[in-house]
Amino acid sequence: MPASVGRLFLEIESRNLLCRIGFGASIVVLALAALLPADIVIRSDLPAKLEHFVAYSGAAVMCGFAFSKKPHPNGRFLLLVLWAGGLEAAQRFSPGRHAAVSDFAGSTLGVICGGAAWWLAKRATVSDPAIGRPSEA
């Protein structure tokens, strides 16, 4: 990882409160996008599964940054998966919307990939001698 990317990662991580506010906002946006009636929501040109993947991978990365100073982030990622499942199930009660297991699978895959991307970036920038910091040559 280039040194500039490592510095950017550490700079973002140092803005913990801002990251938590951003993560909270992403949770609200996910809920609104999932529960508003179908005729109100503006969709992109992406397939629905890809929209779910991108939205939840972004939320997972924000979750990682928001709680990076807390131990064991896996529980938070699991809660994000449960949030995705709850929102998908709640779509049954929203006019013009329907719940789909495939949409939940896309959301879950997004959380896994976003969490893994955050973890790999964190691992590459951590100064823990047990993990090993890459040379900045």
Question: How confident is the prediction along the chain (137 residues), in pLDDT tens digits per residue?
Answer: 556 666 666 666 667 788 888 999 999 999 999 999 988 888 888 998 999 999 999 999 999 988 887 777 788 999 999 999 999 999 999 988 989 999 999 999 999 999 999 988 888 776 555 544 454 54
- Is 0.85 topped by the overall pTM? no
- Considering only CA atoms, which of 25, 52, 34, 54 is closest in space to residue 97? 34
How many C-beta atoms surround the C-beta of residue 93 within 10 A?
A: 9
